[in-house]
Structure 1
C-alpha cells in the first residue's frame, strides 16, 4: 500500500533494519530445529504497526515472525503485553496463534519480535463484504460466542496483561488470581498512553481497580501533556481549518474541558456493580484479523496488540465493523428487509439498497446474538447513556491534536442528560450537575459540531472519488490515478476562491490532500 500524502514520512516511520539470518536462527530454535532446516523467508503482510514474515521449514511447516515498526509504541510493552494476552485468552478457549518465542530486549536480530505458529485457514478480508446472509450469520454467531467467553473471564483490574517477569522492577502491577505462569495486570499498553511525547510523562498509567480512576486517569494524562508540551496548533485534519477561520486552537481551551470532564467522571460510574467488572475485548475486530476455514468456521483471531482491560460499561459496544449507529432503522433494532420495490430499481439503486441492507443485517444480528447468549454485554448495551459515557471517555482520553469540539460537545450532552446519568442521593434527589453551561454556549458548540459534520460528509464524498481511505492510503495500483484525481480537484478548489487572495492563500496552504507539516 502507498500513501497519497506525506509518503516519505510514513515510509521513514516504518523503516526497520534487522538481521534476517539471526531471525531465521531464532525461528528455527523456537521449534528445536537447526537453521539449515529453514527453506524460505518472505514478507507476507504489513499492517499499521507491524511487518509479518513467513519462515518456511523443509518439512512444510511455517513460523510467522512479527516485528513492530520503529514508530510502534510502547516499544517493549507492546510486544510483552501481546504475548501475555495471547496466552491468557488461549487458556480461556479463544483460538489465537501459539507464541513460540519472543524478545523485548536487545538481541542479535536487532529488533523486538514475536515468533508464532501459523493459523489454519485464511483471513476473511474483503470477502466479508460479499458473504451470503447465512455465511455472515455463521461468522457473527461464532464471534459473539467468543466474546461471551471473554465477558465471563474474571480479571482483577483495568490495565493491560503481562507476564510479571517482563515488567521493570517497581512497575505497578496486580496479580491475576490462579495464574501459574505469573500473569498480571500492568500499565495500559494502548497507543494513546504513549503517543509522541506522552511516553516521556511521569504519570499514572494503571493498573486501576477503581472505575472512577479508570475514567479520570486518561484525562489527567492529557492535562499533564498540555502542561508540558501543549501549544496552539491547527486541527490535524486540515479540512477542518477553514471552519476555524484558519486560526490555531488554544490547548488551554481543551484543558478547561478536561477539568470539566474530571469533575463529571465520578458521576459516570454506574451504580450496578456488574457494569464495573473489568473486561478484555479484542482491540481491532475487523475482517483481516478474523481467520476462517473454507466453510467459514473461525480458526483464530489475530492482532491483540495494544489490548486493554476496562470496566464493562466502558468495554461494551459494537465493533466498528458491525455497528450502523448512523442509521435510524438500525438504532430502532428493527429486523432488516429490502424495499418492496427493490426489483424495479435500476442497477445503481439496487447496489445502494443491498449495501444498506447488509449493514442493517449485520448490526441487527450482532445485537440479536448478543442479547441471546452474552447477557453481561447485552446488559451494558441496554444502558440508556452507555454510548454517551463511552464517547466522552474516549474523547477525553485521545491525544489533543488541535480540535476541542468533540469533548466540548460531549459535555453539553452529558449536562442535558444529567437526570439519566447521575446517581440519586440516599434521599432520592439528584445531585446538581457540576458543570453549568448557558444556552448560548451549548448552541455555539452544537453549531460548530454541525459545521464539522458537514466537512466530514464532504471529505467522505471526495475520498470516494479519489478511491482513498480516510488516512490517505490507497493501493499501489490506484496510487497514480488517485494523485491525478486529487490534483484536478485541487485546481477546481483553488479556482473557486481565485477572487479572494487571502482565502486562496489559506486554501492552498492547508489543502487537505497535499503533503504538509504535521507538527504545525
Structure 2
C-alpha cells in the first residue's frame, strides 16, 4: 500500500515456530557502533523534531494512535556519524557530512539521506514501532537484500551497516545503505509511451522469472544463520538449473510478514514458522486468527465491510466459527499444481516508487527497494502483477453505468412495497 488511507484499509491476508524469548542481534558490514569515534558532521546536527514525526499526511480515524505508531525517536547525529564512516570506507578518504535530508515518510520507516562533501550519499533507515517484531524485521530485511543481490542477481542497494538492536548509540534499529541511483520510476512512468512502458514491464518480468526459478523447501522468512535460534546447517534451495544448493550463510526462520504483527498481534505468542509444507503454512494462518480472536480484548474491524443496523454484526463467536470452518476446508483449498505451491522469495510491493531506473532509458532498472517484511511463501500467494499495472486513467462513467434504485427494486416486484424497498436497500 502506498498511501496512508490505503494502509489503514489494508485487509488481513495470510502469513504466520514460535519465537524464542531472547533473540540475538548483531551489527554487520563494515562499521561498528562505538561512541568513541566522532567523524565530522558539519551540517548533520539536526534539532528539528519533524525528522522523528510522521509528516507525510493525515489519518481519517484514530489519528493520535496512528501517529504514535509512526513516531520513531532516534539519535540522528549518531546515525550521521556512521554514515560518514561508511563513506570513508567506500571512497578511501576523510569525509564530511554536508547535508542531512529527511525523505518522504514511509508507512513503517523513517529514511534520512546523508550527503558527503564529495557528493557520496548514504541512506539511513529506521523502523517505526509498527514495522514489525524487534530484531526479526531488520535482520530478515538485511539477509533478504543480501540474498537477492548476491544469489539472485537482483539490483538492490548495497548495505554498509546495520543493527537489529536498539542498544546502540543511535538508540534504534537501523540500516545504512547506498542511495539508489538516478530516479524512481514514479518520476517517469506517466510520461512514457506505451512501447517503453512495455519494455519496463518486460524487464520487471525478467527478474520475476528469475525469482520463480529458485524455490525453497520451507516457508517463512530469510535470515543469516547467527540471527535466529533454531537455525540448522544452512539454507537449502533449488536453483534455476534444478540443482540443490546449500548456503551456510542463510537460514529460514520465523515469518516477518506484517500480517503477523498488525492489530495487536505483535504482542501475542503463536506459531510464526518456519513451516515445511504448504498445508502447514496455510493452516497456521487460521490457527493464528483463531488464537487472536480468543485472546485480543478488542476484535479488529473488517477493513472492507460496512456495518449498520440490520446488517451482519461481527462477534467473537461468529469469527471463531468462520475460522474453524476454514480449518476444516484448508487442505481442499490448496491448488493441486505443485509448480505454484512451492516456496519462493518475492517482492510483493512493486510500485513506481520502489523501482529506480536510468532516466535516459527507464527499461534499465538500477534498484528495487523496500524489502521489509518479505516472506518465503507459495508462488500462488505472491502478487504476480506489479501495482503499476493498476488502472489510473479517466473515469468510466460513460461505459459502466451504476444501477439505479428502481431497477434493483424491480427484482422484487412481487413483494409488498416496504419489503421490496428493504431488500433493494
Q: State if a TM-score over 0.5 links the two structures.
A: yes
How has the CA–CA distance of structure 1 residues 245 and 235 changed in structure 2, closer, same or farther, with 3 Å as cutoff?
Answer: farther
Cα displacement string for residues 427-463 of structure 1 (whole angstroms, at most 9, x for unaligned residues): xxxxxxxxxxxxxxxxxxxxxxx99xx9xxxxxxxxx
How far does residue 204 in structure 1 lie from its aligned partner after superposition? 1.5
- CA–CA distance in 2 between the matches of 1:255 and 1:174? 38
How has the CA–CA distance of structure 1 residues 140 and 278 changed in structure 2, closer, same or farther, with 3 Å as cutoff?
Answer: same
How far does residue 60 in structure 1 lie from its aligned partner after superposition? 1.4
How has the CA–CA distance of structure 1 residues 352 and 302 changed in structure 2, closer, same or farther, with 3 Å as cutoff?
Answer: same
Cα displacement string for residues 321-362 of structure 1 (whole angstroms, at most 9, x for unaligned residues): 3257xxxxxxxxxxxxxxxxxxxxxxxxx9447x99xxxxxx
- CA–CA distance in 1 between the matches of 2:320 and 2:82? 48
Structure (1/2) with the larger helix percentage: 1
How far does residue 39 in structure 1 lie from its aligned partner after superposition? 2.0
Cα displacement string for residues 463-516 of structure 1 (whole angstroms, at most 9, x for unaligned residues): xxxxxxxxxxxxxxxxxxxxxxxxxxxxxxxxxxxxxxxxxxxxxxxxxxxxxx
The answer on whether the counterparts of 1:153 and 1:279 sit within 8 Å (CA) in structure 2 is yes
Match of 1:261 among 326, 329, 350: 326
Q: How many residues align?
A: 331
**Equivalent in the alignment of 1:146:** 207
Q: Secondary structure at the match of 1:108?
A: coil
Match of 1:104 among 164, 169, 186: 164
- CA–CA distance in 2 between the matches of 1:67 and 1:141? 33
How has the CA–CA distance of structure 1 residues 128 and 289 changed in structure 2, closer, same or farther, with 3 Å as cutoff?
Answer: same
How far does residue 278 in structure 1 lie from its aligned partner after superposition? 1.0
Match of 2:224 among 155, 158, 163: 163
Gaps of 5+ in 1: 325-349, 357-449, 455-520
| RMSD of aligned residue pairs (Cα, Å) | 2.9
Match of 1:13 among 69, 79, 86: 69
TM (norm. structure 2) is 0.71
How far does residue 14 in structure 1 lie from its aligned partner after superposition? 1.8
**Equivalent in the alignment of 1:129:** 190
**Equivalent in the alignment of 1:274:** 339
How far does residue 122 in structure 1 lie from its aligned partner after superposition? 0.9
**Equivalent in the alignment of 1:41:** 100
How far does residue 233 in structure 1 lie from its aligned partner after superposition? 7.0
**Equivalent in the alignment of 2:21:** none
- CA–CA distance in 2 between the matches of 1:317 and 1:252? 35
The answer to whether residue 267 in structure 2 is matched with residue 207 in structure 1 is: no
How far does residue 179 in structure 1 lie from its aligned partner after superposition? 5.3
The answer on whether the counterparts of 2:355 and 2:368 sit within 8 Å (CA) in structure 1 is yes
How has the CA–CA distance of structure 1 residues 241 and 316 changed in structure 2, closer, same or farther, with 3 Å as cutoff?
Answer: closer
- CA–CA distance in 2 between the matches of 1:202 and 1:173? 26
How far does residue 316 in structure 1 lie from its aligned partner after superposition? 5.7
User: 1:360-375 counterparts in 2 under 5 A?
Assistant: none
- CA–CA distance in 1 between the matches of 2:390 and 2:105? 26
- CA–CA distance in 2 between the matches of 1:249 and 1:39? 55
The answer on whether the counterparts of 1:172 and 1:206 sit within 8 Å (CA) in structure 2 is no
**Equivalent in the alignment of 1:241:** 307
Q: Secondary structure at the match of 1:17?
A: coil
User: 1:103-502 counterparts in 2 under 5 A?
Assistant: 103-105=163-165, 106-125=167-186, 127-167=188-228, 169-170=229-230, 175-176=235-236, 178=245, 180=247, 182-229=249-296, 231=298, 235=302, 240-242=306-308, 244-245=309-310, 249-294=314-359, 295-296=361-362, 297-315=364-382, 317-322=384-389, 351-352=394-395
User: 1:32-111 counterparts in 2 under 5 A?
Assistant: 32-33=88-89, 37-91=96-150, 92-105=152-165, 106-111=167-172
How has the CA–CA distance of structure 1 residues 97 and 164 changed in structure 2, closer, same or farther, with 3 Å as cutoff?
Answer: same
Q: Secondary structure at the match of 1:305?
A: coil
